[in-house]
Amino acid sequence: MTTSHAPAAGPLEVVQAYVALTKPRIIELLLLTTIPVMFVAAEGVPSLGLVIATFVGGTLSAGSANALNCVYDADMDAKMRRTRRRPLARHQVSPRAALVFGLVLGVVSTVMLGLLVNWLSAALALTANLFYVLVYTMVLKRRTWQNVIWGGAAGCFPALIGWSAVTGDLAWTPVVMFMVVFFWTPPHTWALGMRYREDYAAGGVPMLPVIASSDTVSKQIVMYTWLTVATSLLLWPVAGTGWFYPAAAISLGIVFLVEAYDLRSRARDTEELSVIKPMRLFHFSNAYLALLFVAAAADPFLR
């Protein structure tokens, strides 16, 4: 059997393929948690140069992890409708070239963060990169339904990186923000998993929606949504915020819980996706996290 290859691409298509390896849409969400934490740490506006250096270094680090993930998951991506247009699945980039690209991004990001920000931030970014690739991608993702619970910790590190970039150390405030993202990740990802249940099954990924009923998944989503909202409120006393953050956290949390319980109600008696509408919760969860962290960043200006 011959392997099909994509026709030769021009320079623009090659650049687009390498950018796609970094999964820009995922990076956007990570940066939406990094930069607001820098404002929280500075209790105001951090240095523009520091924000730019952290932004670029964090982008390269996340891009490295995502590119290496694409290399390891190329066989899986080719089997799933949601991912079969990724560069390796379409043979736009060779596995060797993608591997080198990912490793180079990782080295550059670590050195850049170390020299322009600080070495604690560089070490945290490198730890997140290695955890995502070695622990989540290579160990957890294909072996256990708890993959996104523990593997999702990699996506929580931006809170620690943003804080350490400004202060040079760590504290309880970024740990609480780390835990908000940690508890937020399962309901966010499981909602997507419900929508693409057949895809994940075809790719051999034992996501919870693949191995359990929608009723069971929705119970877990409600539980983790409660944990997310409760943890978000801990930031009020821990960080000593003003009135704006808790008001925003309570308001956003109520809507998040309403969406989770609505999904629970719809999923209790059916497996029909058109009835369950999991993407409604998925899209709101994105807005919830972004607005929550922006509220934390804006709070110092409204005291």
State the average pLDDT for the chain.
93
**Percent of the chain at pLDDT above 70?**
97
- Residue, of 29 and 207, whose pLDDT is higher: 207
Percent residues over pLDDT 90 in the chain: 82
Q: Which residue has the tokens 């070695």?
A: 134
pLDDT of 6 reads: 47
Domains and CATH numbers, the chain: 14-143 (1.10.357.140), 171-303 (1.20.120)
> pLDDT tens digits, residue range 59-81?
999 999 999 999 999 999 888 88
Instruction: Count other C-beta atoms under 10 Å from residue 279's C-beta.
Output: 14
Residue 42's pLDDT band, with cuts at 50, 70 and 90, is very high
| pLDDT score of 7 more than 90 | no
Q: What is the pTM of this model?
A: 0.92
- Convert 36-78 into a string of H (helix), E (strand) and C (coil): HHHHHHHCCCCCHHHHHHHHHHHHHHHHHHHHHHHHHCHHHHH
**DSSP state for residue 131 in the 8-state scheme:** I
Q: Which residues of 184-201 are buried (b: 16+ CB within 10 A; e: fewer)?
A: bbbbbbbbbbbbbbebbb
- Residue 140 confidence (pLDDT) above 90: yes
pLDDT tens digit string along 144-167? 999 999 999 999 999 999 999 999
pLDDT over threshold 60, residue 5: no
pLDDT score recorded for residue 25: 85
pLDDT of 151 reads: 92
Tokens standing for residue 134: 């070695």
Structure tokens at 148: 């996104």
pLDDT, tens digit, 9 for 90 and up, residues 204-250: 999 999 999 999 999 999 999 999 999 999 999 999 999 999 999 99
Task: Give the tens place of pLDDT for each residue, 76-91.
Answer: 988 888 888 889 988 8
